[in-house]
């Protein structure tokens, strides 16, 4: 009778352990990912951990505008490139990232009534960007942030302040590129078709928090305020992203 009771107890514990594993698997969340064309024609694959793709970044909007919320300082740039720019794949359930340095040129600036001559190009610090999800609606976002420290970009100019420091993190929303026109916003439930290019639009009023994914676990994290000269600021504009090899791809699994 005692042995039988022990066996029943072991069986119950085993069933309990299996249920825990099954529940954990059910609760694991996919999150954003990168899909690319495989070497086999007509087939696709996830860009996994340790895999990379070079990307080309260029302006889609006519200009990018950096402006503080007091409307005292403003810089406008018409050209955008990224050197280097590399997509970094990730395992399922973990956010893909990218490494890049953004360069803005054909810039003009002003401080109040003063006209500023900007030393070009304006280069960001090395950025470690991450595909994340909005906390409402499942919208796909890109979180732009310095790889180290808090300075996003730093540049000089004459006729105005002198040295401009941009700090914090920036969010951009992903959109479908419909034959050169900005289509619908990308969500994690959007159709998963491949395209040659995708559009990113920086958010005028960035969210204070986003969802990040790591090892199948979704967590809410704060976004650091975006500032210029220590004042809350915005960066507005649209960029076009393509693979350097010209292949089709998608920011969705």
**pLDDT score of 248:** 94
Return the CA Rg of the chain.
22
**pLDDT score of 31:** 85
* Distance (Å, whole) CA 212 – CA 130: 9
Q: Which two tokens stand for residue 155?
A: 């540049």
Under a CB-based contact definition with an 8 Å cutoff, are residues 143 and 174 in contact?
no
Count of beta carbons in the 10 Å neighbourhood of residue 158:
12
* Distance (Å, whole) CA 148 – CA 246: 31
- Residues in the chain, overall count: 253
**pLDDT score of 40:** 78
**pLDDT score of 253:** 64
Q: Which two tokens stand for residue 13?
A: 């514990």
What end-to-end distance do the CA atoms of the chain give, in Å? 54
* Distance (Å, whole) CA 14 – CA 243: 49
Sign of CA dihedral 235, 155, 62, 191: negative
Q: Which residues of the chain have pLDDT under 50?
A: 1-28
Q: Is 197 exposed, middle or buried (0-12, 13-18, 19+ CB in 10 A)?
A: middle
Helix (H, G, I), strand (E, B) or coil at 14: helix
């Amino acid at each position: 009778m005692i042995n039988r009771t022990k066996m029943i107890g072991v069986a119950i514990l085993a069933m309990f352990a299996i249920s825990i594993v099954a529940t954990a698997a059910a609760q694991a969340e996919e999150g954003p990912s990168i899909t690319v064309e495989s070497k086999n024609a007509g087939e696709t694959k996830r860009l996994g951990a340790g895999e990379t793709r070079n990307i080309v970044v260029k302006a889609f909007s006519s200009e990018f505008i950096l402006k503080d919320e007091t409307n005292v300082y403003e810089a406008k740039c018409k050209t955008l490139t990224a050197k280097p720019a590399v997509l970094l794949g990730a395992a399922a359930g973990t956010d893909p990232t990218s490494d890049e340095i953004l360069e803005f040129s054909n810039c003009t600036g002003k401080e109040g009534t003063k006209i500023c001559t900007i030393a070009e190009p304006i280069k960001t610090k090395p950025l470690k960007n991450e595909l994340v999800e909005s906390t409402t609606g499942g919208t796909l976002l890109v979180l732009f942030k310095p790889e180290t420290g808090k300075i996003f970009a730093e540049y000089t100019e004459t006729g105005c302040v002198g040295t401009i420091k941009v700090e914090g993190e920036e969010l951009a929303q992903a959109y479908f590129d419909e034959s050169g026109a900005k289509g619908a916003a990308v969500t994690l439930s959007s159709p998963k078709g491949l395209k040659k290019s995708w559009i990113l639009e920086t958010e005028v009023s960035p969210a204070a928090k986003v969802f990040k994914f790591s090892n199948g676990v979704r967590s809410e994290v704060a976004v650091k305020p975006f500032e210029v000269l220590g004042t809350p600021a915005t960066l507005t504009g649209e960029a076009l992203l393509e693979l350097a090899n010209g292949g089709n791809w998608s920011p969705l699994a």
